[in-house]
Every structure is written in C-alpha cells, then in structure tokens.
Structure 1
Amino acid sequence: MSWLELAGDTPFGLGNLPYGVFSTGDDPRRRVGVAVGEQVLDLSAAAGATGAPFAGLLTAGVLNPLLAAGPSVWAQVREQVREWLTEPRHADRVRPHLVPRVGITSHLPFEVADYVDFYSSEQHAINAGRIFGAGELPPNWKHLPIGYHGRAGTVVVSGTPVVRPSGQRKPRAAEVPSFGPSKLLDIEAEVGFVVGVPSEHGRPVPAGEFGRHVFGVCLVNDWSARDLQGWEAQPLGPFLSKSFATSVSPWVVPLAALEHARVAPPPQVPEPFEYLRVAEPWGLDLSLEIRLNGHLVASPPFATHYWTAAQQMAHLTVNGASLRTGDLYASGTVTGPEKDQRGSLLELSWGGREPFAIGGGASRTFLEDGDEVVLGATAPGPDGARIGFGEVRGEVLPAVGGGAL
C-alpha cells in the first residue's frame, strides 16, 4: 500500500518503479526520475533533500553513475524509494518532489556506450527466410545468437522524429543500383537490455552473471530500410539500413521488477555449447503491441524468443569483448507463430506482397511519410498487477532534400 493514490491497474505501480531522465517547462535541468502512477518522483531532488547515501549518483542527468554502482546499490535505491512511497512518515518530505508525468519532457535515460542487435526469434528468422526464398534457418542459427554491432550515436529516445534515410538500393529486377530515399522503410519491435556493471577486457562473462551486469530492460524500435539492407548486406550485413535511428523507451524497468515475468525459454535443440548454458531461466513473458497511426497491427509475445538475454550477453563477450556501463543490446525482432504476432512490417505485409489494414479503410506494406509507430509492452507483476514499459513513439519525416520514392 502507498500513501499515494494509485489506480489498481496502473502499469507504473510499486512493483515496477522504472527509471528515466526528465525535465519540465519551468526547470530544464535533466533529472533522474522514477515513474509511479501518473507521476514522476524527482529522485535526484528527493535523494538530495533526505541526505540519501546514493544522492551523489543521481546528479549527472543520466543513469550511468547509478548503473555502474552495481546490484547492491540498485537494491538499496529501490528499497529506499519503496519506503518513501509506502510509509506515511515520509509523505511530507517526498510529496514536493512528485511531478505530473503528463507534463514532463523525457530524455535518453543513459549515455549509450555500445549498441548490439541480435536476431534471436526463431519464427522471425523462419519468416524472413521464406520471404526472401533463402530457406528456413541459416545453418548457424541454432548454435549461436546471431548479432551485429549498431551505431550507439543514433540511439534516440521515444518521441524523436525519424527522417527517412537515403542510400543505394537495387531491386532484383533492376540491372544497376540507384540512389534515393528508402522505399521500404520498416520497424522491428524489440526488447533492449541495459548494462550497468562493466567487465574486464579479455574475460568472457558467464551467462550466470547476467543479473550482476544487466541493470534493466527497455523497449526498442530498430528502424530498418529494407531496400538499402538488401543491397548493402552482401556480405557483411546491415550498415546504413539500420544506423540512421534506433528508438528506445524513456523508462528502464529494473530486472528486480521482472521476477514474476521470468519463464523458461523454448527448448533448445541441439543443446547449446557450455558457455551458453544457464541454470536460471531468463526467458521473459512480455506482451508487446505495435500500433501504426493508432491502429493495433500486431501483438508479439516475447516468451517465445529462442535465445535469452543471458545467453546473448555470454555470446557477445565470449571472445573477450568487454561490457561497458551504458551498453545496450537488443533482442532482435520479436515475432510469434500467428499472423497478428509478427514484429515487423516486412512480415506483416509478407515482403510487400500482402498489404495489411490499419483502420479507416487504409492499408500499408511499408511506412509512408507522416506515419507514426508506437510500441508498448507489459509483463506480469506481483499480486496480479501488470508491469508497464511505457512507449516507443516515432513519426516518419520525409527524406532530407526530398526526392521521389
């Protein structure tokens, strides 16, 4: 129970308490906040006013100092926030530091060190293979989590407009490539994992140490220009088709809030190499939603994801690559077995061959200028509550300089 008036169905209840960075119209300073109900607790101010021992970690306007402090401090801060919000004796000191969530401006919650994106949904990989006529799965797919390094500098917070990228593209029927704005602009609904504690260069991080290094979870929209990708990805994989923008939710849900969402991943056959084996189940029962111009077009389930975040972390460090505070790695497109569970427009339109409805008599294959995509997600919480992740929102703007699609 809280002395705050919290709706029973709030996705930002006391079982959640996600972290973000915000400012307000009358105070442009970037401050660390915790979402609770319809409000945000100005954690930077509350910690300073109460003399909390962790106050110094909250003054940088980003989460990175807190991320680097490690699990014992994460637990201490979470417990203190819960105490502030539940025990009436703290109400008078804490209430002045609550801000209506509707009036804030959200900022990128952490400085992104490195960004890695995976390709770990079996159904997505099967669909992509069928769409492109490349077979069911690549031969290495069930032996390792396939991934690529993205561009950390173009990770942006929800609400940031996305400019349609330009580049080279070559349809199969064309004899030569052409240059211009992407005609096949797409999204990928993904789940992101935020690294707190760094690791030593040259030392692989075992999958069992996942909870010692990863602080929390956010939502990711991996914007993708499919026509640019098809031409440039031979043989080294995505480059300009992915690096123009990657959107993340403004709230990072701590791992501690997701205990009730943990599930066993799908059976893995063949048995993974030893470094990819983990005793604890780190599948997560997240329910995602994709809305295009306000219309629900898909509801992908994350529980079906083949490779878990713990295995992905182990794989990305097994060669000795180090983790850094602020690293972000994403799950890859989240896709389920049903048609309305596909996590990309590539799949929803089956490569552009099957337009899908978006309400009001309109349909799409890929994104048009002016389209707005919103991703959301929830997960099981304590006592039947739902844990919310907020939204990843992005509107498509025309390519710089215009030009025919």
Structure 2
Amino acid sequence: MPPFDVSEGDPFGPHNLPYGVFSRAGSTERTVGVRLGDQVLDAGAAARALGSPYAALLARPSLNPLLAAGRTAWSDVRRALTAWVTVPSHQETIAAHFHPLDSVTLHLPFEVADYVDFYSSEHHARNVGQIFRPDAEDSLTPNWKHLPIGYHGRSGTVVVSGTDVVRPSGQRKAPTDPAPVFGPSVRLDIEAEVGFVVGTPTRMGAPVPLGGFRDHVFGLCLLNDWSARDIQAWEYVPLGPFLGKSFATSVSAWITPLDALEDARTAPPPRTHRPLPYLDDSEDEPGGYDLRISVAVNGHTVAEPPFSTMYWTAAQQLAQMTVNGASLRTGDLYGSGTVSGPAPEQRGSLLELTWNGRDPLELPDGKRAFLEDGDVVTLSAWAPGPAGTRVSLGEVTGRVVAG
C-alpha cells in the first residue's frame, strides 16, 4: 500500500505525526523520522527534496535541535509536515523517503539533559499512604495538596522502548530482618507514567509561570519508571529515592507534539485546597490531558490508568520545578508520577495492584506479586483526536533480565 494511503481513523494518521529518531537496516546513521501509519518518513530527506528551510532542523541524529528552536518553529514544521503528507502535489517528491516501520531501528529520540519525577496522582498517593501508613489519620502527607512533590532522578539511565532492564542489586532490609542484606531486588515494580519533553531552555533565576508551559514543552511520551521497592524502602529515609529508582527509566520511541493533543485537553479534578498564586490555574485554560493508558505484563492487560484523574497538571509541575529559579535545558524530561485511577483495575503499579504483594495478580503464566526475570511490561496509550479519531502515543516496552 502506498505510504500516503493510511486507513481512515488510523491512530497514526496525519492528525498525529509523532517524531522519533531511526536508522535504516545496515546503517548506523541516525536521523529524525515522523510516523504515518506503519511508515516512517525521513523528515530531513523530505525537507531537502522539497527545498524546505527546515531541513537543517530535521536532518539531524537527534530531536534536540528542533526542540531548541522554540514554539514558532515547532508549529511551522508541523504545518509543513502535514502538508507534505496530505497534499497530492508533494507525494511523488517524498514517496521515496518513506520506510516501513518494521524495516528500521528506533533510537532514543532526544538527548536527555535532566530528569525529574513527580508524584501527582491523588489515587496513587493515597494508596501508597494506606499501604505504608495504615494507621495514619490522613493517607496523604501534609504538603501533598499544596505542591507537586518531585525528586531529581538520573538522566543517564533513560532508555528507549525495547531496551532490556537488568534487575538491580542493592541493600534491602525487611522489617523482621536483624540487619540489611545485599542482593538482587525481589520486589521489582513498574510505574505507568507520562513524560514531558522540554524544548526551549531558560536562564537561572527565571521561573516559568503556568502560562509558559506551551512555550517550553514540546511534547510528551509514555514513560515507565522502574522501581525496586525493597531497595527503595530501606534507603529512602530521609533523602528520598536513589538506587531503587536510578537503574532504568524507559520511554517510548515516539514524541507526540502538544499540538496533536488539542482535542484531548481537559480540566483537572476539582481542587480541595486552593493553590498558592504561582500554582493557581483556576482562571487558566484546561491543563489536564485525557490519555487512556494500558499496562500489560507478558501480553496480558493488568491495568488501565486514566491520566485525566491526575491532580497536578504538567503546567503546574513545570512551574514548581522552576519556581526557585532552577533553569531548564533543552532535552529536560519530567515524569508525571505513577498514574492511578479510583478503581482497583486503574492502578499504575504492581505495588498498588497487589497491595504490596498481599494479593498477587493471576496471570495466564502464573501469579505475580512483583516482576520475575523474563517478564515483559508494555505500556500503551491513546487520546481523543479531531472528528472522533484517536491519537496513539505508541508504546514503551521492557523485558526484565537477571543481573
């Protein structure tokens, strides 16, 4: 089928056009690609063939030059790409620059600068509080309704979908153990999240207000923030996550631009506490996104977390991340935190789904409290698009291998 003949309603149709980086079979040369159906357009080669001024941004081995170009360039390039794949007069020129998806290798689409992970689902936070503080009067910490809680992670271990995840080792100590022991994690978990990719940088001392979100964030991707719960439980007091989180964070190979998600915008849940002015979005445009996530273990769906339930929005997270004057760099990545909904089947981690191992999942290949070697975890998602279409966010997958 010609590359332009995408079936009506294809979630990777011209209304989507996510960006990635690929190499062709037998080549190590990487370049920016744009997905249309089951084809990948070599965006730089197409731009050169059409004499486009955007060739310098697109004929690169990373999305970073495009990310750094800013909001006006992002919108202009998207309009141009949409025209290239929909206007018949362009088809003969660029047809040769499409490649079947199954014939290319996909790579990490951008160079990650810094990585921050948040904790912004009230349902997830309450579940975790009830698991670990069952006698507390309130399962949320006192600060939770006042600010998006986050921590700085390790950018060097952000990997693209399909990369194996080596089971981490470290210290762990169960409450009944007399002393800590060292060894592979026995409570390896996942966290179903959405990652936001920063394009336009800022200088130190210049916070980004809520209204600046779309000027600095290029797009989003699916993100699995793998977690070694036993290592984390022993090490995180008093300074927070460290080795239990830093061994791997997987992201999808496709970055969906914010402009493709206009029809998915939605209001966040009602706020029970009015935020301080720098986080108060009550007069702003809807800051949430209606993303429908699925979590599968070894091909079996175990959860369907709804991103629309997230209490803190991506714009509020960015404002919190920079309010102290911390600067942004092109390629910064920040995760939403585990996405969980109010129903048991909407929980975005095994910690919640099995209630810390008490209620193992019944899978076709056996019970699971936490992940075993050889298990394959896949996150996928879609969002409402224009005229009743769907916008696919692709998937992020990883296989656990022994350390």
Answer whether TM exceeds 0.5 for this pair.
yes
What does residue range 374-393 of structure 1 map to in structure 2 within 5 Å?
Answer: 374-393=378-397
- Where does residue 23 of structure 1 map in the other structure? 23
- Where does residue 314 of structure 2 map in the other structure? 309
Structure 2 residue ranges without an equivalent (≥5): none
Q: Is 1:339 aligned with 2:344?
A: yes
Count of aligned positions: 397
Q: Which ranges of 4 or more aligned residues in structure 1 deviate by more than 4 Å?
A: none
Deviations 1:272-310 (A, max 9, x none): 010012311110000000000000000000000000000
- Where does residue 263 of structure 2 map in the other structure? 260
Q: Is 1:329 aligned with 2:340?
A: no
User: Offset at 1:49?
Assistant: 1.9
Q: 2:290 aligns with which of 277, 285, 297?
A: 285
Q: Is 1:372 aligned with 2:398?
A: no
- Where does residue 122 of structure 1 map in the other structure? 122
User: Offset at 1:26?
Assistant: 3.3
Q: Is 1:273 aligned with 2:272?
A: no
Deviations 1:100-142 (A, max 9, x none): 0122111000000000000000000000011112531000000
Judge conservation of contact 1:247–1:392 (CA < 8 Å) in 2: yes
User: Offset at 1:67?
Assistant: 0.3
Greater CA drift, 261-270 or 42-51: 42-51
User: Offset at 1:59?
Assistant: 3.0
Give the whole-Å Cα distance in 1 for the aligned partners of 2:272 and 2:133: 24
- Where does residue 235 of structure 1 map in the other structure? 238
Judge conservation of contact 1:300–1:336 (CA < 8 Å) in 2: yes
Greater CA drift, 318-327 or 49-58: 49-58
SS at match of 1:80: helix
SS at match of 1:230: helix
- What one-letter code is carried by the residue in structure 1 that aligns with 2:309? T
Q: Is 1:70 aligned with 2:70?
A: yes
- Where does residue 80 of structure 1 map in the other structure? 80
Judge conservation of contact 1:3–1:88 (CA < 8 Å) in 2: no
Q: Is 1:398 aligned with 2:372?
A: no
Q: 2:175 aligns with which of 141, 158, 172?
A: 172
Judge conservation of contact 1:305–1:334 (CA < 8 Å) in 2: yes
SS at match of 1:388: strand
- What one-letter code is carried by the residue in structure 1 that aligns with 2:358? R
Deviations 1:160-215 (A, max 9, x none): 00000000000011111000000000000000000000012111110111000000
Give the whole-Å Cα distance in 1 for the aligned partners of 2:363 and 2:73: 45
Q: 1:205 aligns with which of 208, 219, 225?
A: 208
Give the whole-Å Cα distance in 1 for the aligned partners of 2:40 and 2:319: 34
Give the whole-Å Cα distance in 1 for the aligned partners of 2:370 and 2:103: 33
- Where does residue 49 of structure 2 map in the other structure? 49
TM-score in terms of structure 2 length: 0.97
Judge conservation of contact 2:3–2:95 (CA < 8 Å) in 1: no
- What one-letter code is carried by the residue in structure 1 that aligns with 2:180? P
- What one-letter code is carried by the residue in structure 2 that aligns with 1:4? F
- What one-letter code is carried by the residue in structure 1 that aligns with 2:384? P
Q: Is 1:37 aligned with 2:41?
A: no
SS at match of 1:212: helix
TM-score in terms of structure 1 length: 0.97
Q: 1:300 aligns with which of 305, 309, 316?
A: 305
SS at match of 1:10: coil
Q: 2:252 aligns with which of 249, 253, 277?
A: 249
Give the whole-Å Cα distance in 2 for the aligned partners of 1:3 and 1:260: 26
- Where does residue 402 of structure 1 map in the other structure? none
- What one-letter code is carried by the residue in structure 2 that aligns with 1:118? F
Give the whole-Å Cα distance in 1 for the aligned partners of 2:261 and 2:280: 21
- Where does residue 107 of structure 1 map in the other structure? 107
User: Offset at 1:3?
Assistant: 8.1
- Where does residue 191 of structure 2 map in the other structure? 188
Give the whole-Å Cα distance in 2 for the aligned partners of 1:313 and 1:139: 21
Give the whole-Å Cα distance in 2 for the aligned partners of 1:324 and 1:157: 20
Deviations 1:225-275 (A, max 9, x none): 000000000100000000000000000000000000000000112100100
Give the whole-Å Cα distance in 2 for the aligned partners of 1:199 and 1:307: 22
SS at match of 2:379: strand
Structure 1 residue ranges without an equivalent (≥5): 400-405
Give the whole-Å Cα distance in 2 for the aligned partners of 1:117 and 1:167: 21
Give the whole-Å Cα distance in 2 for the aligned partners of 1:382 and 1:363: 41
